[in-house]
């Protein structure tokens, strides 16, 4: 039962689910007279995902330095590919919940929404370790990148009025259906496989490791 629950939770951070949801969220922001807010959201998301792609390429192709924070806690943990699920869920659920909290009419909701998002993101991160997809260090690195990206979005939009987006039962139903399909059929995402292939092509012969050595002096490549 624990394995089934972990598998269901981990799919909530899948790019197969969050990419279309992010596109829908940006469209909703744009249509509700919040084009600057939509652009800031897309910029923060692009920075997050771009940083993850770079780190994954370097990690798979050349190796990354050991995780620099809390070395005693993560001693012996592999640190090859920071968790994309953790990063994507942190920036998406964190940004959406915090922005929604701005418009909440009750103080309870203004507190509960961000706390619920934090609990969900941490659960997704823990599930990545539970299903043996990532180490604790890789999950924490992903959470840090996603969390910083969410904070960047919220800081850059601090003077923007949060749009009143009405919850859509159709969107909730589509999300539930997408999650059910992922749990039943498995995650069809080919992102990680594509990054591994690109990292192999761009490794030592492609000059990636030489460039990475200048940026990450302690890399193992």
pLDDT, one tens digit per residue, over 49-66 is 999 998 888 888 777 777
pLDDT digits (tens, 9 = 90+) for 16-28: 888 888 888 888 8
Residue 128, CA atoms < 13 Å, CB-side half-sphere: 27
72 compared with 99, residue with greater pLDDT: 99
Please count the residues of the chain.
221
Q: pLDDT averaged over the chain? A: 79
What gap in Å lies between CA 144 and CA 57, rounded to an integer? 18
Which of 136-140, 177-181, 215-219 has the highest mean predicted lDDT (pLDDT)? 136-140
**What does the pLDDT read at residue 201?**
72
Encoding tokens for residue 63?
A: 């190796």
53: which DSSP letter? Answer: H
pLDDT digits (tens, 9 = 90+) for 161-174: 666 655 555 556 66
Give Cα 6 distance to the centre of its chain. Answer: 17
Encoding tokens for residue 178?
A: 């997408």
What gap in Å lies between CA 9 and CA 113, rounded to an integer? 18
pTM for this model (two decimals): 0.82
CB-based contact 24:166 (threshold 8 Å): no
């Amino acid at each position: 039962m624990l394995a089934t629950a972990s598998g269901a939770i981990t799919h909530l951070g899948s790019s197969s689910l969050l990419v279309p949801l992010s596109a829908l969220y940006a469209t909703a922001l744009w249509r509700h007279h919040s084009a600057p807010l939509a652009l800031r959201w897309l910029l923060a998301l692009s920075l997050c995902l771009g940083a993850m792609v770079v780190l994954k390429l370097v990690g798979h192709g050349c190796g990354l330095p050991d995780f620099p924070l809390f070395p005693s806690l993560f001693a012996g943990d592999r640190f090859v590919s920071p968790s994309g699920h953790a990063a994507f869920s942190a920036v998406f659920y964190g940004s959406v919940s915090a922005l929604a909290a701005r418009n909440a009419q009750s103080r309870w909701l203004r507190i509960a929404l961000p706390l619920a998002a934090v609990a969900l993101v941490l659960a997704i991160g823990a599930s990545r370790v539970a299903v043996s997809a990532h180490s604790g260090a890789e999950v924490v690195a992903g959470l840090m990148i996603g969390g910083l990206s969410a904070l960047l979005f919220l800081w850059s939009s601090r003077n923007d009025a949060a749009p009143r987006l009405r919850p859509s039962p159709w969107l909730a139903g589509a999300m539930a259906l997408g999650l059910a399909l992922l749990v039943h059929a498995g995650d069809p995402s080919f992102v990680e496989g594509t990054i591994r292939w690109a990292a192999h092509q761009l490794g030592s012969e492609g000059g990636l490791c030489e460039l990475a050595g200048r940026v990450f002096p302690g890399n193992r490549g």
